[in-house]
């Protein structure tokens, strides 16, 4: 009998076809969200799950399992929506999809840097609202933004994505500094300057971009204290996790012009973000689209399927979390 696999959301067609060849699969072709209570009830009917960041797989989910479920293959690099400790207790394997989305997230980071510094959100809204024609022509004031060329980009978390961002930013003539748990080797640094102390780096940043996972150590890594160290012309960029920023502190800094602006793709409690962000002209926001390219989502879907395949064929998992 083939293992039964539940796919909680629509994944790429190629990945679904591969899955159907090997397993007894329940696909979500209509991409309708499965309510958490229903997912808890369904958990005991399957040998494996393929989940997304939209699914809440917490302690209550695991506490109701009867032993049938063996693996959860998560489509996404971040897995803070899954109770890893509870999965360990139940001896359920959890995998994710790292590295295949690095370039796409880095591209989104560069997009946010440019959009926030050049006031792209304000400019776009001006044209769409048909108010451009009502603006006074003024060479020194009308939609004047900041250049990125020659500016200093501080990167918090110089992992794979952080390094790709650094490489791309250097093409714009930006200077790269970084804060990381450990100093990188000279070849990985590629000319970037290392700071062992975040508080020492922040005053030197024209832009600061976060590229860390969601952990207790990174929660609110940008808070009232650390944001207060930034120059008033600084721009905050986040494509990592919303939990890395204290919303009240960042919003206060933006509202009171303590910093120049922000470009955000991730939020606390998304999609129910703090709606004060949407009212700020100096905050450019996106709906968590960092990995949203056809190529990347296909690669993520295929990696999740491949992890399922490897598990049930007694092969090493590609990207095991626990």
The catalytic position among 163, 211, 241, 297 is 241
The catalytic position among 9, 163, 288, 297 is 288
Q: How far apart are CA 178 and CA 205, in angstroms?
A: 10
Cα–Cα separations (whole angstroms), residue 255 to 57, 248, 252, 279: 36, 10, 5, 10
Is 288 one of the annotated active-site residues of the chain?
A: yes
- Tokens (6 digits) for 286: 């996106």
Asked if residue 286 lies in contact with residue 112, where contact means CB atoms within 8 angstroms, the answer is: yes
The catalytic position among 22, 122, 204, 270 is 270
* Residue 162: Cβ-neighbour burial (10 angstroms; 0-12, 13-18, 19+): buried
Asked if residue 240 lies in contact with residue 212, where contact means CB atoms within 8 angstroms, the answer is: yes
Report residue 256: phi and psi, to 5°.
Answer: -100, 15
Cβ neighbours of residue 144 closer than 8 Å, sequence gap 6 or more = 119
Which residues are identified as catalytic? 241, 270, 288
């Amino acid at each position: 009998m083939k293992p039964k696999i539940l796919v909680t959301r629509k994944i790429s067609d190629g990945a679904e076809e591969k899955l159907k060849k090997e397993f007894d699969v329940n696909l979500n072709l209509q991409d309708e969200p499965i309510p958490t209570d229903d997912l808890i009830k369904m958990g005991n009917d399957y040998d494996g799950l393929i989940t997304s960041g939209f699914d809440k797989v917490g302690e209550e989910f695991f506490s109701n399992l009867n032993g049938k479920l063996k693996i959860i293959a998560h489509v996404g690099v971040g897995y803070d929506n899954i109770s890893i400790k509870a999965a360990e207790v139940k001896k359920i394997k959890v995998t994710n999809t790292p590295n295949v989305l690095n370039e796409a997230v880095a591209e989104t980071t560069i997009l946010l840097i440019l959009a926030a510094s050049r006031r792209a959100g304000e400019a776009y809204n001006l044209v769409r609202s048909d108010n451009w024609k009502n603006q006074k022509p003024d060479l020194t004031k009308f939609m004047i933004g900041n250049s990125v060329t020659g500016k200093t980009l501080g990167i918090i978390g110089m992992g794979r994505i952080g390094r790709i961002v650094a490489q791309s930013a250097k093409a714009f003539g930006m200077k790269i500094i970084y804060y990381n748990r450990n100093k990188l080797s000279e070849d990985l640094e590629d000319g970037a300057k290392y700071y062992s102390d975040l508080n020492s780096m922040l005053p030197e940043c024209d832009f600061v971009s976060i590229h860390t996972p969601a952990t207790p150590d990174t929660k609110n890594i940008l808070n009232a204290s650390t944001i207060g160290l930034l120059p008033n012309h600084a721009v905050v960029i986040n494509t990592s996790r919303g939990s890395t920023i204290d919303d009240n502190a960042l919003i206060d800094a933006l509202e009171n012009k303590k910093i120049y602006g922000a470009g955000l793709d991730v939020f606390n409690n998304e999609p129910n973000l703090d709606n004060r962000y949407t009212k700020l002209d100096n905050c450019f926001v996106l709906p968590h689209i960092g990995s949203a390219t056809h190529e990347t989502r296909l690669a993520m879907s295929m990696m999740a399927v491949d992890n399922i395949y490897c598990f049930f064929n007694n092969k090493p998992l590609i990207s095991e979390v626990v």
